Structure 1
């Protein structure tokens, strides 16, 4: 069953595009964004990564780090980052542990062929570790701006 707003974010410990480990325990006390995407260097995934990179400074200004997550290996993430000058950290979930915990490693179909893949999804995690907002089946154009606006609302003084 897919994760829902209000649920606790599953714990994770994954290598980033430089091989450095990122753990949910290290993010306790601050909100963060996890955007899950199918594959490095495909058109939609590249556009999404470029849009989040373009807005990285604005996310940083409100104290919300952004992480892209896909099942691609660390080395492929590094090539993808360098080729498109990406500034967001890309996490490698080769074992699909976090993808499965979110319920987004799913059966897909293309041209009648069935296969397992990532359902493009974004989660905004609040500082208490719960899912504040969830965007399932993301359409890429304008998505990063929508996530930034939600992050601004989440971090705005009460």
Structure 2
């Protein structure tokens, strides 16, 4: 994982609508950048829905929520529509951003070793610096933990 205090790698990817989105577009706002493995899987769906449920609270903190996986733009669009997700999902099929943020790692499942996205979240400050790195987050509590971390409004 990248460390708190380091400059967040800038990037440009396509969102669920095919629009290009860069991290630098959000200067002046805090960004919650969360990485997940796959649209419409149980854990990733619970995590996305938890962020959706807390979306107004994030907006009240002037925080932008952005999810990233290697799924296609079309897959993201279906995921957003199915679960009424109010935030941006970015498509990284080439793993450029996933690798830049050091979340493409070896995983073990039932004794089988493979490479994949380790569910991780970064809080990036208004100047594009990593404020907090959260490795191996839990899908059900990730959004609440971030809200608890943010200063009271």
CA contact (8 A) 1:64 1:151 kept: no
TM norm structure 2: 0.94
Deviation beyond 6 Å, 4+ runs, structure 1: none
Q: Structure 2 regions of 5+ residues with no counterpart?
A: none
CA contact (8 A) 2:24 2:128 kept: no
Deviation at 1:134, TM superposition (A): 1.2
How many residue pairs get aligned? The number is 153
Write the distance in 2 (CA, Å) between the matches of 1:42 and 1:87. Answer: 18
Write the distance in 1 (CA, Å) between the matches of 2:11 and 2:50. Answer: 25
2:43 match: 44
Deviation at 1:111, TM superposition (A): 2.6
Question: For structure 1, which segment, 105-114 or 121-130, has the greater mean C-alpha deviation from structure 2 after superposition?
Answer: 105-114
1:135 partnered with 2:115: no
CA contact (8 A) 1:49 1:88 kept: no
Aligned CA RMSD, in angstroms, stands at 1.3
Q: Deviations over 1:127-147 (max 9, x none)?
A: 111111111000122220111
Q: 1:108 to 1:53 in 2, by over 3 A?
A: same
Write the distance in 2 (CA, Å) between the matches of 1:114 and 1:142. Answer: 26
Write the distance in 1 (CA, Å) between the matches of 2:8 and 2:126. Answer: 11
Q: Structure 1 regions of 5+ residues with no counterpart?
A: none
Aligned to 1:98, the other structure's residue is in SS state helix
TM norm structure 1: 0.91
Write the distance in 1 (CA, Å) between the matches of 2:20 and 2:119. Answer: 23
